[in-house]
């Protein structure tokens, strides 16, 4: 990506001839197109350009640096192993890491596909490329028994949802409304169902995504094309929650306008989680009286930690039949089709676009 709102370009860089201790060179097999990539392309986060985007990636180890012998869970690593990795890296020593234990708010945090310009060595810091260079300290996970489609279909959405619902705990028997039927919404649905949600309602579109939500176990799906007005969607939520509203509402859209609407969908004393806003998509009118009148608890959640990736992999390993994340992958693009993949995701035309270099 040479700059914000610009067409992507194919550029070539030399592969590193020396691999640092504890680093690795990986040949990319599949990279997911995340909604965040669309926000990044639109300039909604201050990232360096030019940049190779892509923070959801599976690859095969080509070279291992000295000392890198095991993955994050202690499994032996060898050349030829298929791996994925946590996109974010924290320092472990700043105030937020060491004292507050809020590692996603690390003062020195960086992330693949987001933080590193492609102009500077080792160049290969994003998934939309033939190779990636994994820096020392990267949380790498060997994935011998999970398909590329399952890992990338879940993408960063699943780790994001696990972190978010860890912060806003779902109570056993809770009714849950999920605003958004994209990857984050479906991941939140899967985690909510596994956490004991009794009734789940997904709001979104298009119809193919809502059909997938039903496959994931959604009890009700509200199509925004059919229910185009907020008042109509609110009536539908109340209809399925005995008139009270939901115990918990989870925002998974990344659009500011849905937040105020979501507050109204909560029951009195309910909970609201803002999960979809990684990029700054702007502001929207908000009446704080609703929060006080309803005695709402509002949560925010930012990105994820390596331990959430570990949990996500175990979740996929044990729940792929119940939650077929591999079926999320609907559109495949070669490397020179990456920009088309971004635009396809922008139009909501895909459940999940992937790049296969």
Cα 75–Cα 34–Cα 2 angle in degrees, nearest 5: 105
**pLDDT surpassing 90 at residue 348:** no
Whether residue 280 has pLDDT greater than 90: no
**Interval 46-80: pLDDT, tens:** 999 999 999 999 999 999 999 999 999 999 999 99
Residue 200 CA from chain centroid, whole number: 20
Q: Could you tell me whether strands 353-355 and 24-32 are parallel, antiparallel, or unpaired per DSSP bridges?
A: antiparallel
Task: Sketch out the chain's domains with CATH numbers.
Answer: 24-154+304-355 (3.90.180.10), 169-300 (3.40.50.720)
Half-sphere exposure of 349 (CA within 13 A, CB side): 11
pLDDT at 155 over 90: yes
190 has pLDDT over 90: yes
Q: Quick one: pLDDT at residue 54?
A: 98
Q: Which is it for the CA torsion 302, 148, 354, 141, positive or negative?
A: positive
User: What percentage of residues in the chain have a pLDDT greater than 90?
Assistant: 96
Percent of the chain with pLDDT over 70: 100
Instruction: Assess whether pLDDT exceeds 90 at residue 130.
Output: yes
pLDDT at 77: 98
């Amino acid at each position: 990506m040479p700059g914000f709102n610009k067409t992507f370009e194919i550029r070539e860089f030399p592969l590193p001839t020396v691999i640092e201790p504890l680093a690795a060179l990986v040949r990319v097999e599949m990279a997911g197109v995340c909604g965040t990539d669309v926000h990044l392309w639109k300039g909604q986060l201050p990232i360096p350009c030019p940049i190779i985007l892509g923070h959801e990636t599976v690859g095969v180890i080509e070279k291992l640096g000295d000392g890198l012998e095991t993955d994050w869970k202690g499994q032996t690593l060898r050349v030829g192993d298929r791996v994925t990795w946590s996109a974010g890296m924290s320092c472990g020593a700043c105030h937020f890491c060491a004292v507050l234990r809020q590692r996603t708010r690390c003062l020195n945090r960086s992330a693949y596909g987001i933080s590193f310009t492609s102009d500077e060595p080792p160049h290969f810091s994003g998934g939309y490329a033939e190779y990636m260079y994994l820096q020392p300290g990267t949380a790498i996970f060997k994935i011998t028994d999970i398909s590329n489609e399952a890992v990338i279909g879940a993408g960063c959405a699943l780790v994001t949802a696990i972190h978010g619902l860890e912060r806003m705990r779902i109570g056993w028997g809770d009714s849950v409304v999920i605003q958004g039927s994209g990857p984050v919404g479906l991941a939140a649905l899967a985690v909510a169902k596994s956490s004991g949600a009794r009734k789940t309602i997904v709001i979104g579109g298009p119809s193919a995504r809502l059909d997938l939500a039903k496959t994931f176990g959604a009890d009700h799906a509200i199509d925004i094309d059919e229910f185009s007005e907020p008042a109509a969607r609110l009536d539908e939520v109340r209809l399925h929650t005995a008139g009270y509203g939901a115990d918990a509402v989870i925002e998974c859209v990344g659009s500011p306008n849905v937040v105020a609407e979501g507050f109204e969908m909560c029951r009195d004393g309910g909970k609201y989680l803002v999960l979809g806003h990684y990029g700054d998509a702007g502001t929207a009118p908000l009446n704080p009286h609703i929060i006080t009148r309803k005695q709402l608890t509002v949560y925010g959640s930012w990105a994820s930690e390596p331990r959430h990736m570990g949990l996500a992999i175990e979740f996929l390993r044990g729940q792929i039949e119940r939650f077929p994340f591999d079926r999320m992958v609907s559109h495949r693009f070669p490397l020179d089709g990456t920009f088309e993949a971004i635009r396809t995701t922008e139009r909501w035309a895909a459940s999940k676009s992937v790049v296969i270099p």
